Amino acid sequence: MGKIIQKRVLIPKRVTEMTIKAPVIASKARPGNFVVLRLSMKGERIPLTIADADPEKGHIVIVYLIMGKTTALLDTMKEGDVILDLCGPLGRPTSIKKQGTVACVGGGTGIAALHHIAKGNFQAGNKVVSVIGARSKDLLLFKPELEKISHEVLVSTDDGSVGHKGVVTEVLEEYLDRDPDVKEVIGVGPVPMMRSVARVAQPYGIRTLVSLNSIMVDGIGMCGSCRVNVGGEIRFACVEGPEFEASQVDFDELMMRLQAFKSQEKESMELFEKKELL
Ligand SMILES: Cc1cc2nc3c(=O)[nH]c(=O)nc-3n(C[C@H](O)[C@H](O)[C@H](O)COP(=O)(O)OP(=O)(O)OC[C@H]3O[C@@H](n4cnc5c(N)ncnc54)[C@H](O)[C@@H]3O)c2cc1C
Ligand code: FES
């Protein structure tokens, strides 16, 4: 269970941040971990990244994009309400060591998920270059938060309303050209963006990780729903990931598996909108 301490609308009707009281999870959460939550006894379980954690206050922060029924239902909850089930921290934490410059690349809601990883690298003494992109200025998340824990924040927007006009990987490529000291690239965001991060970084021979958002149910390695193909092998993203070496990921298969429940998701959202399913 987790009481909602604070709810902050980041982008109206689209992205919300929640601070939740979860002392045990907060005390153990590391960058890269996620939680699986369930809102009702018959509700589905969904994974959300721990965007930040404060062990002293016993709080964790989640940031979610309203995608379908469960995130829409979560968004009806208010400060003081209690999330029925909150399981975590799950997943392997990001392996962080002091190594020099780390480029943290985030797209869309992935920027919020990237925050904890960038913070961990900053605290480890690395030079953090955050490279973030969104469709437009209004949709750009967490820039002020990243500025506090990055040595440089580079921005792109599709429409050019702020930063470079174009996609985030163009900015990454330009940075990799001018800084030969980058030791690691970490990408979090939509699948096409992570595929592009893999492609752009590969010629530089830099270790590059992406955080995969495969469908998860139990989050503890029992159900097999989070199967991903990495280097020709089946891996379970919940217990072996969610971060994997980018060049080894079969992004086509990931995309296909993410579409597997589209008709059920649509039906579930329609029933929710008619208030027939809560
Ligand atoms: C490790 C991990 C961390 C994630 N972190 C975040 C985060 O910090 N913020 C955020 O907004 N989203 C995050 N996601 C994605 C999030 O879990 C889905 O957006 C959410 O489950 C959608 O549920 P829904 O019922 O609202 O939408 P639905 O209509 O049910 O689904 C919409 C789409 O969301 C994805 N999805 C649906 N169910 C699941 C599931 N059980 N597991 C994974 N993906 C699913 C599928 O791509 C689906 O097509 C993460 C996913 C993973 C695997
Ligand atoms: S979510 Fe069930 S095995 Fe990974």
User: Is there an atom of ligand 2 within 6 Å of 223 CB?
Assistant: yes
Nearest ligand, CA 47: 1
Q: What is the pLDDT at residue 173?
A: 97
Q: What is the pLDDT at residue 230?
A: 97
Place domain 2-90 in its CATH homologous superfamily.
Translation factors (2.40.30.10)
Q: Is the pLDDT of residue 64 over 90?
A: yes
Across the range 146-158, mean pLDDT stands at: 97
Angstrom distances, CA of residue 185 to CA of 106, 159, 199, 200, 242: 11, 25, 12, 10, 15
Question: Where is pLDDT greater, at 51 or 278?
Answer: 51
Across the range 171-190, mean pLDDT stands at: 96
| Cα–Cα dist 1/195, whole Å | 36
User: Where does residue 205 rank: exposed (0-12), middle (13-18), buried (19+ CB within 10 A)?
Assistant: exposed
Neighbour tally for 266: CB within 10 Å: 12
Q: What is the pLDDT at residue 265?
A: 81
Helices (H) and strands (E) in the chain, counts: 9, 17
| Cα–Cα dist 112/116, whole Å | 8
How far apart are the CA of 181 and the centre of ligand 2, in A?
36
How far is C-alpha 229 from the chain's CA centre?
19
User: Is there an atom of ligand 1 within 6 Å of 238 CB?
Assistant: no
In this structure, which residue's CA is closest to atom 1 in ligand 1?
Answer: 213
User: Is there an atom of ligand 2 within 6 Å of 226 CB?
Assistant: yes
| Cα–Cα dist 207/97, whole Å | 13
pLDDT band at 155 (very low <50, low <70, confident <90, very high): very high
For 83-99, what is each residue's pLDDT tens digit?
999 999 999 999 999 99
Amino acid at 115: H
Of ligand 1's listed atoms, the one at least distance from the Cα of 51 is 8
Comparing 2-6, 44-48, 266-270, which segment has the lowest mean pLDDT? 266-270
Helix (H/G/I), strand (E/B), else coil: 128: strand
Helix (H/G/I), strand (E/B), else coil: 87: strand
Angular region, 58: left φ>0, alpha ψ -120 to 50, beta rest: left
Residue 60 pairs with which residues in a beta bridge? 20, 53
Every domain of the chain and the residues it spans: 2-90, 101-258
Our mutation pick for probing the ligand 2 site, out of 234, 236, 240, 258, counting the most ligand atoms within 8 A of Cβ, is 236
Q: What is the pLDDT at residue 1?
A: 85
| Cα–Cα dist 274/115, whole Å | 36
DSSP state of 92: P
Percent of the chain with pLDDT over 90: 88
Q: What is the mean pLDDT of the chain?
A: 94
Q: Which fold has domain 101-258?
A: Rossmann fold (3.40.50)
Q: What is the pLDDT at residue 101?
A: 97
For 205-241, what is each residue's pLDDT tens digit?
999 999 999 999 999 999 999 999 999 999 999 999 9
Q: Is the pLDDT of residue 276 over 80?
A: no
Neighbour tally for 222: CB within 10 Å: 11
How far apart are the CA of 266 and the centre of ligand 2, in A?
22
Q: Is the pLDDT of residue 278 over 70?
A: no
User: Is there an atom of ligand 2 within 6 Å of 234 CB?
Assistant: no
- Closest to 71 in 3D by CA, of 268, 227, 247: 268
